[in-house]
């Protein structure tokens, strides 16, 4: 069994955790395939006792890879979207970061997580991706994201006007610092911090959330994910910022942009004892009020 391993990097005090992780893999006859940049960082300080290989891009991953394990926080797991692409490789997030809505398996649960992979006792959650179409080349061959798409003003420039349409019909003009279109997965991310609602992963919806709107009557809206959402942007500057998860590009304001549901999903691995409600309660401390 081959396990691709991706991380942005680990702290020096986490080398012992990495040793334990690798020992667990080899004990279960799993062959790690390390992301090259990550491997270069840790290989001299971690004891590797078995066969391994490395990869540098999505092109290096084929059908022989059974799983992808992300070591880090949610941002690290979001990076794996550009690596697994439409290959269907299931992704397991082990939380070496902080909050961890996506990478919600703690290091202390590593043994049970690997055991679940070996025994195939996990649950696959198919998470919707959002796809960007544009009349100019942006984001190269990865025009999609797991969490959200955003339009934002540049730095300290004045607010922008974002004319927004659903399937060609006018929805609203947002006078704001920007606009977020979040997937259900992304509803617990940037959109939530801008007062957007939390929606369940299987809800089949997108959330449109303005960033610091200038109109007090403007609120987030939840729409079915079979809509095509298109935009025209006006502003005092000649360009604005467009993002897909953590990737960003500066786009001229004349650009025509539209987002829709991607044709494929990403497969996230969930352990049987975990579910979305439990994650919400644990990460947001719901139910811990002393009056309960």
Furthest-apart CA atoms within the chain: distance in Å: 61
Task: Decide if 80 contacts 68 (C-beta within 8 A).
Answer: yes
Q: What is the CATH number of domain 2-128+265-284?
A: 3.40.50.10330
Kind plus residue range of the DSSP H or E element containing 280: helix 276-284
Tell me which DSSP letter residue 256 carries. -
Task: Decide if 104 contacts 97 (C-beta within 8 A).
Answer: no
pLDDT values of the chain reduced to their tens digit, one per residue, 292 residues: 999 999 988 777 677 788 888 888 999 999 999 999 999 988 877 778 889 999 999 999 999 999 999 998 889 999 999 999 999 999 999 887 666 778 778 878 888 899 999 999 999 999 999 999 999 999 988 999 999 999 999 877 789 999 999 999 999 999 999 999 999 999 999 999 999 999 999 999 999 999 999 988 899 999 999 999 999 999 999 999 999 999 999 999 899 999 999 999 999 998 876 788 888 887 788 877 767 6
Give domain limits for the chain. Answer: 2-128+265-284, 130-261
Task: Decide if 103 contacts 95 (C-beta within 8 A).
Answer: yes
Question: Strands (DSSP E) along 2-90, which ranges?
Answer: 2-6, 31-35, 53-55, 65-72
What's the token pair of residue 38?
Answer: 């990550």
Task: Enumerate the active-site residues.
Answer: 74
Q: Which CATH homologous superfamily contains domain 130-261?
A: Probable inorganic polyphosphate/atp-NAD kinase; domain 2 (2.60.200.30)
Among 61, 58, 264, 239, CA closest to 144: 264
């Amino acid at each position: 069994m081959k396990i691709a391993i991706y991380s942005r990097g680990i702290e020096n005090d986490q080398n012992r955790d990495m040793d334990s992780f690798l020992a667990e893999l080899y004990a279960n006859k799993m062959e790690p395939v390390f992301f090259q940049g990550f491997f270069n960082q840790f290989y001299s300080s971690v004891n590797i006792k078995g066969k391994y290989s490395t990869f540098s891009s999505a092109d290096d991953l084929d059908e022989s890879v059974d799983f992808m394990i992300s070591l880090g926080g949610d941002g690290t797991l979001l990076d794996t979207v550009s690596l697994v692409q439409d290959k269907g490789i299931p992704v397991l997030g082990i939380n070496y970061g902080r909050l961890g809505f996506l990478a919600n398996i703690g290091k202390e649960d590593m043994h049970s997580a690997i055991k679940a992979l070996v025994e195939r006792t996990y649950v696959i959650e198919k998470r919707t991706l959002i796809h960007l179409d544009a009349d100019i080349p942006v984001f190269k061959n990865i025009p999609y994201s797991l969490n959200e798409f955003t339009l934002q003003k540049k730095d300290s420039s004045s607010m922008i006007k974002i004319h927004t349409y659903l399937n060609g019909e006018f929805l609203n003009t947002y006078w704001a610092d920007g606009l977020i279109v979040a997937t259900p997965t992304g509803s617990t991310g940037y959109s939530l911090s801008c007062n957007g609602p939390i929606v369940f992963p299987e809800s089949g919806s997108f959330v449109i959330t303005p960033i610091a709107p200038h109109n007090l009557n403007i609120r987030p809206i939840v729409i079915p994910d079979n809509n095509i959402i298109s935009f025209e942007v006006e502003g005092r500057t000649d360009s604005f910022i467009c993002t897909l998860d953590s990737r960003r590009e500066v786009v001229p304001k004349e650009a025509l942009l539209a987002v829709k549901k991607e044709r494929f999903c990403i497969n996230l691995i969930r352990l049987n004892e975990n579910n979305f409600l439990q994650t919400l309660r644990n990460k947001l401390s719901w139910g811990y009020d002393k009056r309960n």
